Amino acid sequence: MHHFATTYLGPVSYYAQLYAAEEARIEQWEHYVKQTYRNRCVIATAQGPLPLTIPTESNGGEKCLMRDVRISDHGNWRHLHWNALEAAYRQSPFFEYYADDFRPFYEKKYDYLLDFNEQLRELVCQLIGFTPRVELSTEYLHEVPAGDTDLRTLIHPKRLCTEALPGYEPRPYYQVFKERHGFLSDLSIVDLLFNMGPESLLVLMKSEEYG
C-alpha cells in the first residue's frame, strides 16, 4: 500500500508513484498544510515555471482536516488558472485534444478541495490510460503499517523529487519552451499530458525503477 496526500494536478513524480503502486490510499484525515501540492501545481510558461494556487477559506486559525477544506472564490482564480493553462499550452501538441475535458473544472464551483482534486486525478489517470486502485483513508495513521510506503509528506514543492524518492529518475520529454528554458523536471502532470499525449504513460513507466 502506498499512502499519498491529495494534490491539485500533482507533479509527474506523484503520478509515476501512483502508477507503480499496487494499491493507493489518499489521506483525508490529516491536518491541512498550506504551500504544498495539495492546493498548488506548477506549469511551464514562456517566462519559466509558474505556480498556480487554489485559494482556500480561512478557518479562523484552527487546524482543519483535509476533507473539510473549502475552496474560496477569492481572486477569480478559476478564470485565472484556465487562462494561464491556455496561454502556456495552446501551442503544445495535445492541449486542444484535452481542453474540453479540463475546462469544466474551471467553470463549475466545487465546495471542497478534496473533491476537486480527486475528480481531477481520476480524469488525469483516465486520459493517461491507467486505473490505480485508490481508496480514501478512514483514519489518520501517524505511522503506516510495516511494508507500506508513506509518500504523504515526501512529494513537496520545496524538495527535489530525486532526493525524496530513491530510485526515481525524471525522464526528459518534449516541452514547448524547452529551447528557451531547458527541460523543466517534475512539473504538473498536465505539462506531460499536453506535451506528450498518449505517450505520457511511457514517460511515467520509464521514470520509475522496478524490482
Query: Residue 3 half-sphere exposure, CB side, CA atoms within 13 Å?
Result: 21
pLDDT of residue 211: 33
pLDDT of residue 169: 83
Q: What is the CA radius of gyration of the chain?
A: 16
**Mutual angle of helices 200-207 and 189-196, in 10-degree steps:** 130
pLDDT of residue 59: 63
Residue spans per domain, the chain: 2-207
Contact between 27 and 7 under an 8 Å Cβ cutoff? The reply is no
**Which residue, 209, 198, 211, 184, is CA-closest to 12?**
184
Q: Which residues contact 159 (CB under 8 A, 6 or more apart)?
A: none
pLDDT of residue 62: 59
pLDDT of residue 210: 40
Q: Are strands 40-45 and 48-53 parallel, antiparallel or unpaired?
A: antiparallel
**pLDDT tens digits for the chain (211 residues)?**
999 999 999 999 999 999 999 899 999 999 998 899 999 999 999 999 999 999 999 664 558 999 999 999 888 999 999 999 999 999 999 999 999 999 999 999 999 999 999 999 999 999 999 999 999 999 999 989 999 889 889 899 988 887 778 778 889 999 999 888 899 999 999 999 999 999 999 999 988 654 3
- Is the whole model's pTM more than 0.85, yes or no? yes
